[in-house]
Amino acid sequence: MAAQQNDPHPDEGWYYNTRTNEVEHHERARSVDLLGPYPDEATARRALDIARERTRQADAADAKWNRDQD
């Protein structure tokens, strides 16, 4: 993670680690384990709720589209 410390334009976002269930900032795990970036720590802590809601909305839009195709 030292490469991130040398980055002149570091990512200031907050991330939710799905492997550890922890919020991370600056020093982060592998991208495959992260949700984000989020603008602040509180929002990152809600990452799973946000993902569930986005999935629910996408499923509803898909269902509506499928109904409209009939």
Query: pLDDT tens digits, residue range 11-32?
Result: 789 999 999 999 999 888 899 9
- Sheet order of strands, 22-25 included: 22-25, 14-17, 34-38
Share of the chain above pLDDT 70, in %: 86
Measured distance CA(7)–CA(13) in Å, rounded: 14
In whole angstroms, how far apart are CA 24 and each of 17, 43, 59, 60, 62? 7, 12, 29, 31, 33
Q: What is the number of domains present in the chain?
A: 1
What is the residue whose two structure tokens read 């592998």? Answer: 30
Contact (CB, 8 A) for 50 and 36: no
Q: What range does the domain containing 24 cover?
A: 2-69
